[in-house]
């Protein structure tokens, strides 16, 4: 009887673990997420984010992520950009912290000569959704409600 009860307990625990972990493993296409961000936060004359941008400027080593897609606006003063990173398993918080540091550095550089741009960057969005981390920095603060909607709609 004890063995049957033990097996029943183990089975219940296994089912609970499977039920709790289901939503964090959902897969998204980073290009589709980027398209939604680019629609919410359009960037003038943008270029694609490169691996050098991610590795060198944002200080993300290649073992921290699986893939990414991003766009950077041509206006250096605003620092506007959209970026989606699929983090390696267990690395989403590390990626988020690196992007927060990147944003802080952008703000620090702009505070003395472009305080309005620095204020807009402070309002930027950095969100982790499972293994995905989203960064959206606008040229103006009025884009952020649309960015919030795009993030919530994309990661349903």
pLDDT averaged over 10-residue windows placed end to end, the chain, 156 residues: 48 48 73 97 95 96 97 93 97 98 96 95 96 97 97 95
pLDDT of residue 34: 97
pLDDT at 23: 44
Q: Are 40 and 147 in contact (CB under 8 A)?
A: yes
129's enclosing H/E stretch is strand 125-129
DSSP 8-class letter at 88: P
Q: What's the confidence (pLDDT) of residue 4?
A: 45
87 phi/psi in degrees, rounded to 5: -75, 150
pTM, whole model, 2 decimals?
0.83
- How many CB atoms lie under 10 A from the CB of residue 107? 19
Looking at residue 125, its pLDDT comes to 97
Instruction: State the pLDDT at residue 30.
Output: 97
Give the model confidence (pLDDT) of 112-136 as tens digits.
999 999 999 999 999 999 999 999 9
Per-residue model confidence (pLDDT) at position 3: 53
CB atoms within 10 A of CB 16: 10
Round to whole Å and give the CA distance between 128 and 142.
22
Backbone φ and ψ for 79, nearest 5 degrees, come out as 70, 20
Residue 18: the pLDDT is: 46
Q: Where are the domains of the chain?
A: 26-154
**Beta strand segments in the chain, E:** 47-48, 65-72, 81-87, 125-129, 132-137
Q: Cα–Cα distance between 129 and 134 in angstroms, integer?
A: 8
């Amino acid at each position: 009887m004890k063995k049957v009860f033990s097996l029943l307990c183990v089975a219940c625990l296994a089912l609970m673990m499977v039920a709790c972990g289901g939503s964090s493993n959902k897969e998204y296409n980073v290009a589709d997420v980027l398209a939604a961000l680019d629609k919410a936060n359009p960037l003038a004359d943008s270029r694609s984010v490169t691996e050098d941008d991610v590795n060198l400027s944002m200080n993300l080593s290649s073992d921290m992520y699986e893939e990414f897609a991003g766009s950077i606006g041509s206006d250096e003063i605003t620092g506007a950009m959209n970026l989606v990173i699929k983090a390696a398993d267990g690395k989403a918080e590390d990626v988020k912290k690196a992007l927060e540091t990147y944003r802080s550095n952008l703000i620090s550089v702009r505070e003395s000569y472009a305080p309005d741009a620095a204020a807009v960057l402070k309002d930027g969005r950095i969100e982790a959704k499972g293994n995905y981390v989203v960064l959206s920095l606008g040229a103006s603060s009025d884009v952020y409600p649309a960015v919030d909607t795009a993030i919530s709609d994309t990661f349903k």
